[in-house]
Chains A and B, each alone.
Chain A
Amino acid sequence: MTSYDICAQLARLGSATVYEAGGRGRYVDADLIQVIPGSRTAGPARTVACGQDDNLMAHAAMASVVPGEVIVLTMPEPRAVGIVGDLLATQAKAQGAAGMLIDAAVRDLEELIELGPLGPRQGRHQGSAGHDRRTGAGRRRDDLPG
């Protein structure tokens, strides 16, 4: 079974079942918002630590992401500064990212929903959407949509 097939199966089984089957090891305990209702995905993490209120590294990530990866973006402190919006999400989708998990604020929610699930275009992946984390005036998005 290829890693791609493994991820497709894990996405189908879902985060709760995978967490339980894995011995209840690692689950993101955060107030996330799923940006695209009904979306699900799984993929190897491409971890990206952004500076405070600075999404430079998010832009850089779009130049290095490999199709099928889930981009994981963090910022030191949650603030109402949109770290990802529709232009970055458009790039993520075009580059074949399977999804995004964003522990920070996002913007352009309606456009993100319109853009739809991410996912490798060449694959059978279901694609994904986003999770956001609401923090005060901002949104922290965990898994972005397309």
Chain B
Amino acid sequence: MQVGGATICQGDIVVLDADGAAVVEAPRADEVLRAALEREERERVKRAQLADGALSYELDGLRERLEGSSGR
């Protein structure tokens, strides 16, 4: 069936919280969980850096993208 443009089949994993509803195709549950745990770890590290004053503008290479590799 379709809910809000998302296909949901019997047995797909539905994740519900304050943000909304995500759907994981049943055969991908392991793979998506692994990727989500890796993402969580990366965000944990980054969060600590940001709390110490680092900027995502620098960490993610966004300054270079916006201002050019010369930085000028």
Contacts and interface: CB of A to CB of B under 8 A. Distances in A.
Contacts of A3: 29
Q: 3 tightest CB-CB pairs across the interface, nearest first?
A: A30-B4, A21-B36, A28-B4
Contact of A11 (B17, B35, B37, B39): B17
B1 A18 contact: no
B18 interface: yes
Given A14-B15, A19-B22, A72-B14, A29 B33 contact: no
Q: Is the interface of A mostly helix, strand, loop or mixed?
A: mixed
Interface of B: 1-26, 28-30, 32-33, 35-40, 43
Contacts of B23: 25-28, 45
Interface of A: 1, 3, 6-7, 9-11, 13-22, 25-30, 32, 34, 37-47, 49, 70, 72, 74, 99, 101, 103, 128-129, 131, 142-143
Contact of B15 (A42, A46, A74): A42
A6 to B, nearest CB: 5
Contacts of B25: 25-26
B22 A22 contact: yes
A129 B20 CA distance: 11
Chain B binding surface, main DSSP class:
mixed
B21 A28 contact: yes
Contacts of B1: 47, 49, 72, 74
Contacts of A34: 16-18
A44 B16 CA distance: 11
Contact of A10 (B11, B19, B24, B39): B24
A103 B4 contact: yes
Given A6-B30, A15-B17, A28 B11 contact: no
Contacts of A38: 18
A41 B37 CA distance: 17
